[in-house]
Chains A and B, each alone.
Chain A
Amino acid sequence: MTAITGDLKLPKERGKAQAWAIQALPVVVRWVAALGGALLIFSILLMIKGTNPIDAYSDMWSSTFQRSASVEEIFTRMTPLVLAALAVAVPARAGLTNVGGEGQIIMGGVAACGAYLFLGDAMAPAVLLVAMIAASVVVGALWAGLAAVLRLAAGVNEAISTLLLNFIALDVLLFLIYQPWRESRTGQPATQELTDLAKLPVVAGTAVNVGIVVAVVLVVAVQVLLTRTRWGFRVSVAGGNAEAARRSGLKVAFLVLSALMIGGALAGLAGMIQFSGVEYKLRPSFGHQLGYIAFLACWLARHKPFPILLASFVFAALSVGGDSLQLDSGVPAASIYVLTALILIAVLGFTTPRKKTS
């Protein structure tokens, strides 16, 4: 039992802004403490490895944010993260857990590559890019739709089915690049590189592909879709209480299917952008871990579209920073995952608003 909440005790004369500041202060303190704690623990690990943490952090900071190439790299890496995080956020609104971003990204890349291989010679470049986008979106949606159908027809939990579909997607990718789509010239398990005309153009004056623009536009679009449309309202009813939705005549099955398929489409598009804007060929490691990192980014953003932009930026910056950590401080780049995990646990664990027990 807690006593009456603090805000009831606030004298009325105090201004609204002041009251707001008093309420916001603990939140800010919690965030600072959480992030500071994560950095502190990582510092201890760095010291154990014999590295001065202050130097490591300052090297990381300068090589990540003070070189324009690094900053551009951050924006390039955050693009698929944003889209794949949206692919988690939309189904989450319907109460669904989409862990299948990884597989949906792979299938999106595979579809884009397929469209390129089969249509590449026959089409004008601009039309070809549109066809690749369309193929990735449709295949991503169908791949996620499979999990929705399994849930609706057989009651299989979508968190399990989307996860398992990731492994199947990886097998599909490996089959294609080892067998029919293998580039004969080099003999590597990879497809041939895209011609320049099939690569995504860059934003003028930078090395960043236009995917980032698409991602930002889609963040706004998803925000509108979830909060300003009748479909978005119905989905949140179904996600909040499926029985109440059914009793008020909503078609819950359709809402589950459409929410998961829209998620799949977004992740499929992430795969296309990763393929046509970054990697240019399918390799065994295509899109490696993007889906899972995006899943974490979405949780860090509490499934809200605009915070997803920020969370994706943070994760992309950390991965770029990890590369420089290896170069400058001699610490393995993979250790950045340790920092990433520490930040995630700290932020989710110590800044989550808890329900007050009354």
Chain B
Amino acid sequence: MTTEPAARSRHRQPLLEVLGLTKHFGEVKANTDVSMEVWPGEVHALVGENGAGKSTLLKMIYGVYHPDRGQLMVDGKEAPIGSPADARRYGIGMVFQDLRLVPAFTVAENVALAMPEGMTLKLGRLADEITAASEKFGLAVNPAAKVGHLSIGERQRVEILKVLMTGARLVILDEPTSVLAPSEVEALFRVVDHLRGQGFGVVIVTHKLDEVRTIADRATVLRGGRTVMENVVPSDYTNAQLIEAMVGRSVSDLERGPSVALVESGPAALELLGVDCVGDKGNLALKGISVTIRPGELVGIAGVAGSGQRELCEVALGLRKPQRGTVQIDGHDVRTPADAMEAGAASIPEDPVADSVVTRLNVVEHMVLNGRPFPSRRLGIDWRTARRRTDEENDRLGLRIAAWNRRVSDLSGGNIQRVVLTRELAIASTLVVAAYPSRGLDIANVRRTQEILLERRDQGAGVLMVSEDLDELMSVADRILVMHDGHISGEIDSADFDRQKIGELMIGGAA
């Protein structure tokens, strides 16, 4: 099975070898007998579903956890890595999913924090070094820029640069694309490609197959804490084979028939007429938009990020007041969030951590915040009933949310998303507004979420779905509206879906 990367001929031994690592936490077998290797000049994708053991493996490589069994080899020699500092000494650098930069500091100051300590801080010289390094490694970074003003993609570049400047030869990127817009993903991959050309080893964690195919020379697939594919070349396998390796069963193509419940007459599930709306930056984010979604249809919204999608969703749900125009759900005027909920709207927010997660509250306490009356017991809440409902909804939707008593703010992004999805999609609704519903989810849960949205549609709900993933939109939507600069720049029916045409409309094209 093992194949060799092109760079192998020039090097005698792998940069990193992972040999039979095992790590158990009590009953939880996080990693069992996991092996993989990375050569200089190789991009190695580490893929697997949520909970497959990727994070544990990375933490062992980076010295945060100590393996129960197995060993790490660097440059062919045994490397007892006991701490992140050890890992850095061996030339292993890690870019975490939650970037660890100080927003109030400049790029140079942040890099200074990571450099070996001296008594004085020579920021001027460091800035020169950063500029030199950013040219050498192909990472465009301005050392004087304040990190708080940078986009997520730019911050990621700073982190990578930081890791390289402290002497890393192997760069580990933990789910770098999960926080990026598509254009930023392209920029990141250009950087990774550049590093490969200079002989660095790169490990990139992802659960998106198209990314594996775009960037990786080889891949290792983890499932249930074990390696199911080790150091394989992705192009030797079909998508179906790789998905089966990740999920453990074959995932059939999504079956989407025409809507069985489409209602052409009567009140629309959502009707926006001539809506103008000001966005957060004070600009006019929606410019005379009219949108009608019939009960029983799923309408996708495509567009470059920041074209007015967020404002569209918020206006539809009564969360944002339009300056002009009307909003109706199922024939009822919507002016407040309560109006929208009474009319039967459910919503998956764009930013679940900021808009849904309440500090200190656990899963079941989040589940009752669905806009319906609480299950009551005298003056209080009947938590027993609430727990029973949560279990029942979890069983019915099958997104396998975390235990009822876990604090939601402690959960990972994907697990938070599953709680929100289960809460909002478990109850019957007339309108579902779903912004990036599959954000942070692995393949099995993405599929399940799409199925649930289609089920809602077939039960007569109108569904508005915003996504930046055109493949996802084209596979589930009955219609796609393309947004550009606050306008609807085009509308395409499912029969005529055409990636090229949608792409042109997204940039406001004349087509």
Contact = CB atoms under 8 A, between A and B. Distances in A.
A55 interface: no
B379 A229 contact: yes
Interface string B414-454: 00000000000000000000000000000000000000000
Contacts of B66: 3
Contacts of A230: 374, 376, 379-381
Given A3-B65, A230-B380, A249 B341 contact: yes
Given A4-B65, A249-B337, A249-B341, A244 B379 contact: no
Interface stretch (A180-188, A235-243, A316-324): A235-243
A49 interface: no
Interface residues of A, number: 23
A346 B465 CA distance: 53
Contact of B360 (A4, A8, A236, A246): A236
Contact of A240 (B64, B347, B361): B361
B511 interface: no
Contacts of A12: 26
Contact of A247 (B64, B83, B337, B361): B337
A245 B338 CA distance: 11
A245 B347 CA distance: 13
B444 to A, nearest CB: 27
A210 to B, nearest CB: 27
Nearest to B380: A228
B371 interface: yes
A248 B370 CA distance: 6
A166 B31 CA distance: 60
A243 B65 contact: no
Contacts of B510: none
Contacts of A31: none
Contacts of B369: 237, 244-245, 248, 250
A61 interface: no
B347 A247 contact: yes
Given A230-B376, A240-B359, A247 B381 contact: no
A247 B349 contact: yes
A299 B376 CA distance: 32
Binding site of A, secondary structure by majority: helix, strand, loop or mixed?
helix
Contacts of A228: 379-380
B25 interface: yes
A17 interface: no
Contacts of B349: 247
A8 B319 CA distance: 44
B355 interface: yes
Contact of B337 (A1, A231, A246): A246
A65 B347 CA distance: 60
Given A244-B356, A247-B347, A233 B374 contact: yes
A1 B83 CA distance: 9
B354 A243 contact: yes
Interface string A1-27: 101100010001000000000000000
A236 B362 CA distance: 12
B508 interface: no
B145 interface: no
A153 B486 CA distance: 30
A241 B357 CA distance: 7
Interface of A: 1, 3-4, 8, 12, 228-231, 233, 236-237, 240-241, 243-251
10 contacts: A1-B64, A228-B379, A229-B380, A231-B379, A236-B360, A237-B358, A240-B358, A240-B359, A248-B371, A249-B371
- Give the top 7 A-B pairs by smallest Cβ distance, nearest first: A240-B358, A248-B369, A241-B358, A240-B359, A249-B371, A229-B379, A249-B341
